Structure 1
Amino acid sequence: MNNVVVLITGANRGIGFELTKQYLINGWTVIATCRNLESAVDLVSLKGQFPDKLFLELMDITCPENIKTLAGKLSEENIKLDLIVNNAGYLDRENTSIHSIDYANAEMCFKVNSLGPLYLTHCFLPLMNKKSLCKIAVISSAMGSLSLEQSVDWYGYRMSKAAANMLVVNLSKELVNDNVAVVAVHPGWVQTDMGGSTASENVVDSALGIMKVIRNLSIENTGNLYSFNGEQLPF
């Protein structure tokens, strides 16, 4: 494995799959993770197109042992990462009112959207290629902003994305002298399984916009929340 290397979680569909494809097209080596390869038909097919550039790894972002095991495997293989994209996401669609809350679904939002990226960063930070600027991106959401006007719905999702934004702020401050830049990216309302067919953005535009935000990320602008269109958003 050589050249620049990115690890992408939740790469089997939606934004994660499109990011995987676009980074491959741009010549990157991609380590793509997902929970179940049997159902990741498109991802397995993509592996056939990029056999020497795409590496598929099983990992459940809610399972610390999975994360730790994969970090150990990549360490043994002497893999160095230039970029981590914490993309895996979960939405508690039914939690639209405090009067009717499915706690297990809300808890899952935190496990996938904020605690997963926290532990993944903890385990994979030693693998990052700090000889040059390396980057960590969290695919967050404007729905986790405490400053923007919000509707009332999806309690777990909104709370977990606010927590993910706080993770980015904390990481950016702690890693600023380690040659690691960190960013939270709002992908827009995207036409994926999560966003639905009536969403306003197509997945290609969202993925390309996310990549541009990451490309423009530096130590000077670390620790911020940006929309996929490049607009800086308030936390």
Structure 2
Amino acid sequence: MNDEVVLITGANRGIGLALTKQYLINGCNVIATCRDDATTTELISLKAQFSDKLLIELMDITCPETIHRLANNLSQRNISLDLIINNAGYLDSNNQSIHAINYADAELSFKVNALGPLFLTHCLLSLLNKSRLCKIAIISSSKGSLSKPQSVDWYGYRMSKAAANMLTVNLSTELADDNVAVVSVHPGWVQTDMGGSAAQENVNDSALGIMQVIANLSIDNTGKFYDFNGEQLPF
């Protein structure tokens, strides 16, 4: 049975919830984080099925105090992590033109999509299980690619995802000697609250694809950017 410990942010819905379910089915121990108790209904249902495998922790990725508390809680439980999936995301969908920017929404995109994963990784580094290869996955977006031709939209989201990709590059370089591999993954346009009902990809297909990309991750291919089908994308 798989004894890996996986921490997933934004695990209460969408891709995060699908990843939580699939890793539990695969026998992993999962630490599922979300912002508040009111959003944990489906996680609590999973807890009934996987009581000894699922730990639900409240954490707001924009709040350093709650990230510190999470790290302290895990440390006190002597929990070592094998995989961190930075999945929590925010989309400033109305910021589609420089002529009409909501800067509070754009700033929130950076806090959730880039700065939050940076701080979370910093706080959890000491908990990584250094006895074997550890992995960090950042759920990014092709919208954050600087070289892929595309239309103008979502200023804060796209800028923050480009920043998240740079976090992957930096971490992969600095942590390779510590046997930690890092990857950015584009999940596709997924049928979630963020992606909308017109999206092309089923959430479970996306989650399974992301898991395969992570499974294929090693020190040899650390620091790369892939879509959920395993195709390497340009930064």
TM-score (norm 1): 0.98
Given residue 82 of structure 1, which amino acid in structure 2 is its aligned partner? D
CA distance in 2, matches of 1:195, 1:87: 14
Paired residue secondary structure (2:85): strand
Residue 94 of structure 2: aligned partner:
94
Render the CA deviation track for 1:194-214: whole Å, top value 9, x for unaligned. Answer: 000000000010000000000
CA-based RMSD: 0.8
C-alpha separation in 2, matches of 1:219 and 1:39:
36
Instruction: Name the residue aligned to 2:185.
Output: 185
Residue 139 in 1 paired to residue 139 in 2? yes
Corresponding residue for residue 59 of structure 2: 59
Q: Give the CA deviation at 1:37.
A: 2.1
Write the deviation string for residues 175-223 of structure 1: whole angstroms up to 9, x where unpaired.
0100000000000000000000000000010000000000000000000
Post-superposition offset of 1:39: 2.4
Q: Distance in 1 between matches of 2:73 and 2:42?
A: 25
Structure 1 segment 159-178 matched on structure 2, within 5 A: 159-178=159-178
Give the structure 2 partner of residue 106 of structure 1: 106
- Report the counterpart of residue 220 of structure 1 in structure 2: 220
What amino acid is aligned across from residue 86 of structure 1 in structure 2? N
Question: Residue 3 of structure 1 corresponds to which residue in structure 2?
Answer: 3
Give, in whole Å, the separation in 1 of the partners of 2:39 and 2:121. 26
The more displaced of 33-42 and 114-123 is: 33-42
Q: Which amino acid in 2 is paired with 1:87?
A: N
Judge conservation of contact 1:95–1:156 (CA < 8 Å) in 2: yes
Distance (whole Å) between structure 2 residues aligned to residue 74 and residue 44 of structure 1: 19
Q: Report deviation, 1:41.
A: 1.2
1:69 deviates by: 1.1
Q: CA deviation at 1:125?
A: 0.5
Distance in 1, matches of 2:48 and 2:84, equals 23
CA–CA distance in structure 2, aligned partners of residues 99 and 112 of structure 1: 24
* Aligned match of 1:24: 24
3-state DSSP of counterpart to 1:192? coil
Is residue 112 of structure 2 the alignment partner of residue 115 of structure 1? no
- For 2:201, the aligned partner's letter is E
For 2:186, the aligned partner's letter is H
Provide the C-alpha distance between the structure 2 equivalents of 1:25 and 1:73, rounded to a whole number of angstroms. 25
Shift of 1:153: 0.5
Shift of residue 101 of structure 1? Answer: 0.4
1:36-65 deviation digits (Å, cap 9, x = unpaired): 122221111111111110000000000011
Structure 1 residue 36 corresponds to structure 2 residue 61: no
Q: Structure 1: 5+ residue runs without aligned partners?
A: none
Letter in 2 for 1:18: A
Kindly tell me the number of residue pairs found equivalent between the two proteins.
234
Structure 2 residue aligned with 1:83: 83
Deviation (angstroms), 1:122: 0.2
SS at match of 1:115: helix
User: What is the alpha-carbon distance in structure 2 between the residues aligned to residue 192 and residue 73 of structure 1?
Assistant: 30
